[in-house]
Structure 1
Amino acid sequence: MSIPLLEVRDLKMHFPVRSQGVISRTVGHVKAVDGVSFTIGHGQALGLVGESGSGKSTIGRLVTRLYEPTAGQILFEGRDIAKSSARQLKPLRRDIQMIFQDPYTSLNPRQTVSEIIGAPLEIHKLVPRQGRLRRVQELLEIVGLNPEHYNRYPHEFSGGQRQRIGIARALTLQPKLLVADEPVSALDVSIQAQVINLLKDLQRQFDIAFLFIAHDLAIVRHFCPDIAVMYLGKLVEQAPREELYSHPLHPYSKALLSAVPDVSQAAVGGRRERIRLTGDVPSPINPPSGCRFRTRCWKAQDICATLEPPLQPVKAGGSDSVACHFPE
Structure 2
Amino acid sequence: MTTTHVKPTASKQAGESLLQVTDLTKHFPIRRGLLQRQVGAVQAVDGLTFNVARGETLSLVGESGCGKTTTGRMLTRLLEPTAGTILLEGHDITHWSTGKLRPLRRDVQMIFQDPYGSLNPRHTVGTIVGAPYHLQGIKTERGVKREVQDLLQLVGLNPEHYNRYPHEFSGGQRQRIGIARSLALKPKLIIADEPVSALDVSIQAQVINLLEDLQDELGLTYVVIAHDLSVVRHMSDRVAVMYLGNLVELADRDDLYTRPMHPYTTALMSAVPIPDTERRSKRERIRLQGDVPSPVNPPPACRFHTRCWKAQEICRTEKPPLAELAPRHLVACHFPENADMPGSSDPAALQSSTAAGSAAGSAAGSVAGSTDHDAQEPRG
Alignment of 1:76-225 (within 5 A): 76-128=88-140, 131-225=143-237
Partners in 2 of 1:271 and 1:111 — Cα distance?
Answer: 53
C-alpha distance 327-2 of structure 1, shift in aligned 2 (>3 A): closer
Return 5+ residue gaps in structure 2 as ranges: 1-13, 338-380
Secondary structure in structure 2 of the residue aligned to 1:282: coil
Structure of higher RCO (CA pairs closer than 8 Å, 6+ residues apart): 1
Q: Does structure 2 conserve the Cα–Cα contact (< 8 Å) formed by 1:180 and 1:213? A: yes
Partners in 2 of 1:309 and 1:3 — Cα distance?
Answer: 29
- 1:106-138, Cα deviation, whole Å (9 max, x unpaired): 000000000000000111122249700000000
Task: Tell me the equivalent position of 2:265.
Answer: 253
Shift of 1:23: 2.6
Task: Tell me the equivalent position of 1:324.
Answer: 333
Instruction: Name which one, 1 or 2, has greater alpha-carbon Rg.
Output: 2
Secondary structure in structure 2 of the residue aligned to 1:287: coil
Partners in 1 of 2:62 and 2:194 — Cα distance?
Answer: 12
Q: Does structure 2 conserve the Cα–Cα contact (< 8 Å) formed by 1:262 and 1:272? A: no
Task: Tell me the equivalent position of 1:313.
Answer: 324
Return 5+ residue gaps in structure 1 as ranges: none
Partners in 2 of 1:46 and 1:139 — Cα distance?
Answer: 25
277, 281, 286: which is aligned to 1:275? 286
Partners in 1 of 2:279 and 2:321 — Cα distance?
Answer: 39
14, 26, 46: which is aligned to 1:13? 26
Task: Tell me the equivalent position of 1:68.
Answer: 80
- 1:252-301, Cα deviation, whole Å (9 max, x unpaired): 000001000134x5356734211111111001111101100000000000
C-alpha distance 151-129 of structure 1, shift in aligned 2 (>3 A): farther
285, 295, 300: which is aligned to 1:289? 300
Partners in 2 of 1:143 and 1:93 — Cα distance?
Answer: 21
Secondary structure in structure 2 of the residue aligned to 1:273: coil
Secondary structure in structure 2 of the residue aligned to 1:205: helix
Secondary structure in structure 2 of the residue aligned to 1:296: coil
* Amino acid corresponding to residue 286 of structure 1 in structure 2: N
* Amino acid corresponding to residue 82 of structure 2 in structure 1: T
Q: Does structure 2 conserve the Cα–Cα contact (< 8 Å) formed by 1:291 and 1:305? A: yes
Give the TM-score normalised by the residue count of structure 2. Answer: 0.83
- 1:127-186, Cα deviation, whole Å (9 max, x unpaired): 249700000000000000011010000000000000000000000000000000001000
- 1:47-80, Cα deviation, whole Å (9 max, x unpaired): 1000000000000000000011000000000001
Secondary structure in structure 2 of the residue aligned to 1:40: strand
Q: Does structure 2 conserve the Cα–Cα contact (< 8 Å) formed by 1:3 and 1:78? A: no
Partners in 2 of 1:98 and 1:198 — Cα distance?
Answer: 16
* Amino acid corresponding to residue 284 of structure 2 in structure 1: E
Q: Does structure 2 conserve the Cα–Cα contact (< 8 Å) formed by 1:112 and 1:154? A: yes
Partners in 1 of 2:257 and 2:220 — Cα distance?
Answer: 25
Partners in 2 of 1:160 and 1:271 — Cα distance?
Answer: 36
* Amino acid corresponding to residue 280 of structure 1 in structure 2: D
Secondary structure in structure 1 of the residue aligned to 2:59: strand
Secondary structure in structure 1 of the residue aligned to 2:255: helix
52, 63, 66: which is aligned to 2:64? 52
241, 251, 262: which is aligned to 1:229? 241
* Amino acid corresponding to residue 276 of structure 1 in structure 2: R
Partners in 2 of 1:102 and 1:175 — Cα distance?
Answer: 21
C-alpha distance 259-127 of structure 1, shift in aligned 2 (>3 A): same
Secondary structure in structure 2 of the residue aligned to 1:215: coil
Q: Does structure 2 conserve the Cα–Cα contact (< 8 Å) formed by 1:6 and 1:40? A: yes
Secondary structure in structure 2 of the residue aligned to 1:105: coil
C-alpha distance 49-33 of structure 1, shift in aligned 2 (>3 A): same
Q: Does structure 1 conserve the Cα–Cα contact (< 8 Å) formed by 2:16 and 2:54? A: no
Partners in 1 of 2:115 and 2:184 — Cα distance?
Answer: 17
C-alpha distance 98-268 of structure 1, shift in aligned 2 (>3 A): closer
Shift of 1:191: 0.5
Q: How well do the aligned residues superpose, as a CA RMSD in angstroms?
A: 1.3
Task: Tell me the equivalent position of 1:299.
Answer: 310
C-alpha distance 251-110 of structure 1, shift in aligned 2 (>3 A): same
Shift of 1:241: 1.0
C-alpha distance 123-278 of structure 1, shift in aligned 2 (>3 A): same
- Structure 1 segments of 4 or more deviating over 4 A? none
Q: Does structure 1 conserve the Cα–Cα contact (< 8 Å) formed by 2:24 and 2:84? A: yes
Q: Percent identity?
A: 62
Secondary structure in structure 2 of the residue aligned to 1:5: strand
